[in-house]
Chains A and B, each alone.
Chain A
Amino acid sequence: MSKYLLKRLVLSVVTVWAVITITFALMHSIPGDPFKSESKMPPQVYQNLLSQYGLDKPVTEQYVIYLGNLLQGDLGASMKSRVETVNDMVERGFPVSAQLGAQALLIAIVFGPALGSLAALYQNKFPDYLSMIIAIIGISVPSFIMGTVLIQFVARNVGFFPIGGWGTWQHSLLPSFALALMPLATMARLMRSSMLEVLGQDYIKTAKSKGIKKSAVILKHAVRNAILPVISILGTTISNLLVGSFVIEKIFGIPGLGRFFVQSISNRDYTLIMGTTIFYAIILIIMLFIVDVAYMFIDPRIKLVKEGR
């Protein structure tokens, strides 16, 4: 197992390095730079700014310097915010996004597979239609519509939910729900189809022939086998939720990490682009690893390590 972990770690480092290099190259190939857009800047000031951030050096040299700083855990100073470094921004924004994401994830994981299972058990009956209507709404309605609708019809009418902002736990309810709907719907649909397949398997019949309760047949035999495809999408889903959603954070006025992804690119904020991308890549790699391990525990046929047998 330790050998596997080591191999996995080395591969992860290589992946992150590839992400860094590709992002760096792409970023510098976009025309413009962080300071071009600011109007009426005297050429001397512009030159000073460039040399201040080391942007006057050749790109390859910048790349080497960046990698060197990164190895020391320094993501650099933001080129737009003159008070905060990229490290500060991630440290400030991530806990907020992560809390929001974790709550959304909880909602999605609890209700998605349950809804899907219900739909499969009552195939072509009312619960099935209801679940699938919810799922279709969840998949087809974009989160910015959902967020606005929630503010307009729920927050404005029920005083309990604040319209926006961040602070108390009430603040997090509506955005969590808006954020959860899409993954919830995806999971419900996946769960439904895989549950339908599993329910037709011979071992379900075997389980029934033992005379055990219907609930035991479903929970012990069907769900555990049907949940595998849902687990496999969890890696990407979790990372997406944790690092924050630009749209939801914007609509609800939440100071999370999500907005930095979009803002950094339109601002050509080089260090922030790199910082958020690397951070996302690392989270994603960790989650994918956790999912692989979880897979092994749920399905004994899957072996991460080849045993010498």
Chain B
Amino acid sequence: MEKILEIKNLAVSFKTFFGEVEAVRNISFDVGKKETVAVVGESGCGKSVTANSVMQLLPMPPAFFKTGEIIFKGEDLLKKSENEMQKIRGNHIGMIFQDPMTSLNPTMKVGSQIVEGLVKHQKVSREEAKKKAIEMLKLVSVPQPEKRIDQYPHEFSGGMRQRVMIALAMISNPDLLIADEPTTALDVTVQAQILDLMKELQDKLDMSIILITHDLGVVADMSDRVVVMYAGQIVEQGLTEEIFDNTSHPYTKKLLASVPRLDMKRDETLVSIEGTPPDLYIPPKGCAFYDRCDFAMKVCKDNMPEFTHHSQTHASRCWLSHPMAKGVKGSEK
């Protein structure tokens, strides 16, 4: 498959008063054309930092890139100047954010916000821009688009605002859409609508999606491939079926186990992963999941596991998958 985005060995850190926080530690993954890749993990695992690195929207300083390349359509984005990045943002790569209530400018008409990027990138006239805004709102199923473009964000509901955000991100027909938890702030019924809309538009416009989420239900529904992140690293990645049916990493297993099920008994308690992720000021030498893992072994504490490939597409970073650990149950802590 043709690759549209390749992240190679990316490491991002933040300089703070107390020292350096290694938010993303040497991750590599790619996104194919028309593919949806989900990046999953709990809060603080580096998934949003990864997304913002692609767009280069991180505040620099304190953030800085330590190593790595972000190759988009054959060119390294990290080598581009701010001016060159402006031509890519909103034009070739669009982005949707988590909270539609705060991600639109309250003092600007919705229509102008949608077309602002288009006007800059494609130098269209006002008339055309207005027509395009109406067309986009129609595309994302906002009723009465002619009237709605002259309204302000506070006149829209949360779901409608997220539709506006999608219209805004997609107006220049980007090759890649980065959706940073697009449904987290919405209620469940609206979530499904927004996801369906994204899928529908992906088919229509032939674009790739990076979906950042911590909701595994969303992952199963949307993505072709999954990247599981923990403490700034990728711990497992593979096709969605492989991740769900052939789970390898203990962290992914626990994540899956903690999804509430409809057939749960009433008095059954929800499963949670005990403990907290390690402090990224001093990232652990060994496996980052060591402290919380049920299967941790002596080797895990001080030795960083490398990726073991289970198939061409499926790999996980765990000593248990290592050929020499065959038959070992783990848990010698």
Contact = CB atoms under 8 A, between A and B. Distances in A.
| Physical interaction between A and B | yes
Nearest to A300: B152
B116 to A, nearest CB: 6
Given A203-B103, A206-B103, A212 B117 contact: yes
A101 to B, nearest CB: 29
Interface in A184-225: 201-203, 205-214, 216, 220-221, 224-225
A301 interface: yes
Contacts of A41: none
Contacts of B260: none
A108 to B, nearest CB: 23
A209 B86 contact: no
Q: Dominant SS at the A interface?
A: helix
B209 to A, nearest CB: 15
Given A205-B57, A301-B152, A211 B103 contact: no
Interface string B160-183: 000001001100000000000000
B165 A206 contact: yes
A297 to B, nearest CB: 10
A299 interface: yes
A208 B89 contact: yes
A209 B95 contact: yes
A293 interface: no
B168 to A, nearest CB: 7
Contacts of B106: 203, 225, 299-301
A92 B202 CA distance: 72
Contact of A206 (B85, B86, B104, B107): B104
Given A201-B102, A300-B152, A300-B154, A209 B107 contact: no
A303 B57 CA distance: 34
Contact of A220 (B86, B108, B169): B108
Contacts of B113: 206
B117 A203 contact: no
A221 B57 contact: no
A224 B107 CA distance: 8
Interface in A159-198: none
Contact of A212 (B57, B82, B90, B95): B90
A221 B103 contact: no
B99 to A, nearest CB: 6
A221 B105 CA distance: 7
Contacts of B165: 206
Contacts of A211: 85-91, 117, 120-121
Contacts of A210: 89-90, 116-117, 120, 168
B93 to A, nearest CB: 8
A202 B102 contact: yes
A98 to B, nearest CB: 31
B55 interface: yes
Interface residues of B, number: 32
A201 B103 CA distance: 8
A227 to B, nearest CB: 10
A201 B55 CA distance: 17
A298 B107 contact: yes
A209 B105 contact: no
Contacts of A225: 105-107
Contacts of A213: 86, 120
A202 B96 CA distance: 11
Interface string B275-297: 00000000000000000000000
A207 B154 CA distance: 17
A244 B67 CA distance: 62
A44 B107 CA distance: 69
A167 B169 CA distance: 59
Contact of A205 (B88, B103, B116): B103
A209 B89 contact: yes
B120 A209 contact: no
A209 B107 CA distance: 18
Given A211-B120, A301-B154, A203 B89 contact: no
A269 to B, nearest CB: 48
Contacts of B85: 211
B41 interface: no
Given A211-B86, A211-B90, A299 B57 contact: no
A124 to B, nearest CB: 11
A112 B152 CA distance: 29
Nearest to A309: B155
A203 B104 CA distance: 5
Contacts of A206: 95, 97, 103-105, 113, 165, 168
Interface of B: 55, 57, 82, 85-91, 94-95, 97-99, 102-108, 113, 116-117, 120-121, 152, 154, 165, 168-169
Given A205-B103, A224-B108, 13 more contacts: A202-B102, A206-B97, A206-B105, A206-B113, A210-B89, A211-B117, A211-B120, A212-B117, A213-B86, A220-B116, A299-B107, A300-B152, A300-B154
28 contacts: A202-B98, A202-B99, A203-B104, A206-B103, A206-B113, A207-B116, A208-B57, A209-B55, A209-B89, A209-B97, A210-B89, A210-B90, A210-B116, A210-B117, A211-B90, A211-B91, A211-B120, A212-B116, A212-B120, A213-B86, A213-B120, A216-B120, A221-B108, A224-B107, A225-B107, A298-B107, A300-B106, A301-B106
